[in-house]
Amino acid sequence: MSIKESFSHILSEIDKDKKYINEEVFENTPRRMEEFYLDFFSGININPMDYFKNTFECDNNNVVIEKNINFYSMCEHHFLPFFGKISIAYIPNKKIIGFGDIVKTIEAFSKRPQLQERLTEDIARAIVEGLNPLGVFIVIEAEHLCMTMRGVRKPGTKIITSSSKGIFEKSQEKRAEVMALLKLND
């Protein structure tokens, strides 16, 4: 059964008596949902490590930060979206990656049914594996519609997860430095 057929079935189950859902209004909804799901979950078919094939030599090991990267994902527990911002800091080990490739890596992981905690770790591990940096620090802040629309119904609640690898895991001083840099101009 296709996504489109499945969604048609869901619509008919929601309104068994056809009191609300009429064919004219909802005629193209199953097709639109299929297109949306195929795009939204396209990360399942992408290997994020492919984005680490084009690296660049770097003659220093100063911290590199890309912050406030918008993302959207889908909670695997309730199939409701969660969304927010991701900030990534890493200390190169004489090798860097393009900023666009970091965004593509985030997209590949976030376009899967996901848990925020796993998303945080998956991105950190990919950067460690792809670049072998001296350290990686990631912070994700997101709002989960499963907490906003159902369950506890607390709109505006933010979930924050982080991951520290390498020097950021071992050195409180380095972790404090990068956290201070992430707060600049917020």
Catalytic center residues:
75-78, 116, 144, 146
Element (DSSP H or E) covering residue 137: strand 135-144
Question: Cα–Cα distances in Å, from 125 out to 28, 57, 67, 133?
Answer: 40, 21, 18, 11
Question: Shortest CA distance to 74 belongs to which of 103, 129, 31, 33?
Answer: 33
3 state SS of 139: strand
Sign of CA dihedral 103, 110, 82, 39: positive
